[in-house]
Amino acid sequence: MEWNDILSAGGTPILMGIVNVTQDSFSDGGRFFDPQAAILHGQELLRAGARIIDVGAESTRPGYQAVDAVQEWQRLAPVLEGLANKDALLSVDTMKADVAHHALQNGAAIVNDVWGLQRDPEMAKVVAEHNALLVAMHNRADVDEALNLKADWKRFFDKTLDIAQNAGIPLSRIALDPGVGFGKTQTQNIQAVRELGILKEEYGLPVLLGLSRKSVLGWITGQPATARLAATIAANIRGMNNGAAILRVHDVQEHIDALKVWAAMDGKYD
């Protein structure tokens, strides 16, 4: 499978629905920590129109509580089992190669790595051995207000793609994520949305945008995470117009409606 087998031929982004099997998610505060609740939520997102379900069992919010690979997999296993064979294309949101390996053996087809193959040295090998799709996100350990974001994107993704090539991961199986909310100031987060088209131009790979309910939207609007739907849709429409091919979202039905209206206004919806 390649990304082109999944992406919309008409240019409208596909939606990746988020299922957080965590107790400390910034966006839903553990609502889906129970495996059955997570499964039902994933099924709901599929019915609403998500093309991909992204399941994560370790929060990556600022100040998150790390979990080991065993605990992370114990959280993921029943949810992946419950969603497998439900017309779901499953993604595992993890930075650990062991967790990715187990997930890919149990129904997942995509690895969403918030460190772009640069945290766990075995991750690229696991992705290659399973012929999995990859989302490689830009990340930084520290925030630097003087950062040249475009230069740092190039430094980071050049290294990621070198790792991928050496492991035997074809470019056709890689999507890039500009990393909104990770190692950036809020001004840099806005820049990441405004200029994400640079990644598409530079690398010719699909771009995934993940900004649903994130703090930069609260910084702009003053709204808490639970009241950032309008801000999320507005930012995602801007990101889509700048070239994002995949939108990672909590609120699938609302984005489906927004994309239908956008397509109709743009003359692309019959």
Q: Which residues are catalytic?
A: 214, 248
Backbone conformation region of residue 239, classed left if phi is above 0, alpha if psi is from -120 to 50, else beta? alpha
Give the C-alpha distances (Å, rounded to integers) separating 251 from 9, 48, 177: 23, 9, 19
SS3 of the chain: CCHHHCCCCCCCCEEEEEEECCCCCCCCCCCCCCHHHHHHHHHHHHHHCCCEEEEECCCCCCCCCCCCHHHHHHHHHHHHHHHCCCCCEEEEECCCHHHHHHHHHCCEEEEEECCCCCCCCCHHHHHHHCCCEEEEECCCCCCCCCCCHHHHHHHHHHHHHHHHHHHCCCHHHEEEECCCCCCCCHHHHHHHHHCCHHHHHHHCCCEEECCCCCHHHHHHHCCCHHHCHHHHHHHHHHHHHCCCCEEEECCHHHHHHHHHHHHHHCCCCC
Strands 14-20 and 52-56: parallel
